[in-house]
């Protein structure tokens, strides 16, 4: 009786909090209008902390997706001819509005993604920085004049927007993944259709409300919302429709491979940011205290639900015990589980039951085969159905699933190595190639590791490497293309070569 009443009170508190969110939208967005699905079907968006229904939103299907794609294609015919200065000004206004409304955006992220409010606020700062960056970048997407081999001809190379971009975003950073992609494609002169994760669509809708207020013309940004059931049909339209010029996706490698196959049918451009299996390598010369502090950031930010999160902690045998003991103490002291709205909480729930089940099975299988849990090691069922204890494992062997798989949860796994070459061999023994982390005071070793690690990004003595300015992306099965930086905008352009001849006539 008392447990049930407590649950009802938590749900009521969630609902009262959400009613105060003026950016909470409950419809999809096509051609500047807030619309329902043509079928009028809806699906619920749940708060992962307490399973309360935040809102019911349109469960759109292939027909709705087709309308959105056609709208974006029609709008592209005029948007592509706007000046870079116009696009820059709009993006700047969108940035200003996101900063002004950061608290409200953060509350929506916490409600649907579960992350602590402080992390949600940090995501708004991070995500908004891409709008600011691409507002500036829009005016620097330049072409070139190439020296001609002919005396009476000139070679000009220009960059032109490639058209409609299908944007498919994940749940772990529901705001930043929108701004990082849409800011870039808008700067280049493209239009888009966004399919946000069914777990976190409300943040995308709130962001586009602010885009509308910033003056983004109707049809430039369109959002199709759908449940997991309708996602394949919606994705098929967004990937295979002839009007689509590019598919931009962040998510699992498995889904990325499927989308890549669909894009191949039309020889479409793809920008894929896929799964990671990041090594975190600690050498004897490292500042161990600093390395442990950075390990906390690299592993437990967003409760381990990050593609660049440290997955494998490779620690030299000479400092292994020191590092592991300090790491254990930090985890025990600083990882505080609970709902994201509760003061002092640093680790919220996992996003859904599927993710909770995966993390639980990985740890249980490792423990059954001899791994040791120095901290945690089981679900925190007393808090809810999606909470998992922050965990530190040692004595993990290659035959265990957790040795090879991306964990995407609050599980730190420590391995001991003896030589630099061994560390490289273990680190590179993966088909993933997104982020990697190295801690050393040896300058030559830092340069060697940067050169020899087969990853798209290498952080030396730091556990956080994301920003708007550098090119973000991976190699191997971690993706194609780059986001952020000037390269992020250029992903959404086609090079055109124009030959001017007869200049001597």
Q: Where are the beta strands (DSSP E) in 121-255?
A: 144-146, 154-161, 164-168, 191-195, 221-223, 244-250
CA 50 – CA 316 distance, rounded (Å): 41
3 state DSSP class of 438: strand
3 state DSSP class of 242: coil
Contact 53, 44 (CB under 8 A): yes
Q: Indicate which residue of 273, 406, 477, 490 is catalytic.
A: 273
Contact 373, 391 (CB under 8 A): yes
Residue 273 is a catalytic residue = yes
Backbone angles phi, psi at 251, to 5 degrees: 165, -155
Kindly state the helix (H) or strand (E) to which residue 149 belongs, with its residue range.
none
The first and second tokens of residue 409, run together, are: 């949860």
> To 10 degrees, the CA torsion angle through 115, 314, 333, 380?
50
CA 67 – CA 238 distance, rounded (Å): 11
Q: How far is CA 81 from CA 78, 157, 191, 214, in A?
A: 6, 18, 12, 19
State the catalytic residues: 273
């Amino acid at each position: 009786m008392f447990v049930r009443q407590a649950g009802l009170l938590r749900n009521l508190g969630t609902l009262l909090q959400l009613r105060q969110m003026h950016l909470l939208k409950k419809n999809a967005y096509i051609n500047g209008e807030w619309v329902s699905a043509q079928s009028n079907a809806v699906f619920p968006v749940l708060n992962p902390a307490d399973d309360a229904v935040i809102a019911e939103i349109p469960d759109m299907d292939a027909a709705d997706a087709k309308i959105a794609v056609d709208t974006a294609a029609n709008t592209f015919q005029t948007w592509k001819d706007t000046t870079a200065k116009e696009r820059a000004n709009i993006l700047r206004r969108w940035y200003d509005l996101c900063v002004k409304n950061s608290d409200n955006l953060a509350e929506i992220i916490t409600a649907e993604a579960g992350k602590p409010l402080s992390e949600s606020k940090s995501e708004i700062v991070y995500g908004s920085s891409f709008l600011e960056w691409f507002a500036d970048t829009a005016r620097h997407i330049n072409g070139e004049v190439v020296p001609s081999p002919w005396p009476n001809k000139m070679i000009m190379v220009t960059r032109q927007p490639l058209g409609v971009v299908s944007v498919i975003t994940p749940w772990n950073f529901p705001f930043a993944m929108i701004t990082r992609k849409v800011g870039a494609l808008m700067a280049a002169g493209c239009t888009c259709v966004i399919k946000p994760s069914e777990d976190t669509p409300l943040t995308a809708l709130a962001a586009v409300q602010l885009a509308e207020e910033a003056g983004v013309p109707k049809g430039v940004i369109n959002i199709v919302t759908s449940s997991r059931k309708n996602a394949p049909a919606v994705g098929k339209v967004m990937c295979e429709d002839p009007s689509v010029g590019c598919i931009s996706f962040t998510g699992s490698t498995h889904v990325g491979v499927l989308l890549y196959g669909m894009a191949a049918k039309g020889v479409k451009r793809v920008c894929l940011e896929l799964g990671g299996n990041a090594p975190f390598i600690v050498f004897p010369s490292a500042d161990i205290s600093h390395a442990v502090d950075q390990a906390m950031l690299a592993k437990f930010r967003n409760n381990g639900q990050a593609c660049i999160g440290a997955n494998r902690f490779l620690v030299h045998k000479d400092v292994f015990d020191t590092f592991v003991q300090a790491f254990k103490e930090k985890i025990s002291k600083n990882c505080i589980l609970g709902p994201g709205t509760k003061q002092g909480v640093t680790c919220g729930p996992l996003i859904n039951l599927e993710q909770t089940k995966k993390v639980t099975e990985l740890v249980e299988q490792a423990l059954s085969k001899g791994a040791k849990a120095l901290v945690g090691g089981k679900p925190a069922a007393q808090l809810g159905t999606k909470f998992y204890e922050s965990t530190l494992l040692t004595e993990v062997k290659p035959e265990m699933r957790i040795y090879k798989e991306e964990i995407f949860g609050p599980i730190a796994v420590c391995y001991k190595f003896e030589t630099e070459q061994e560390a490289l061999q273990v680190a590179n023994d993966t088909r993933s190639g997104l982020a990697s982390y190295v801690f050393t005071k040896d300058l030559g070793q830092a340069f060697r590791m940067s050169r020899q690690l087969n990853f798209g990004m290498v952080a030396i003595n730091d556990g956080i490497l994301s920003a708007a300015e550098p090119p973000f992306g991976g190699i191997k099965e971690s993706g194609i293309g780059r986001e952020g930086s000037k390269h992020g905008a250029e992903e959404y352009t086609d090079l055109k070569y124009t030959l001017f001849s007869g200049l001597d006539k």
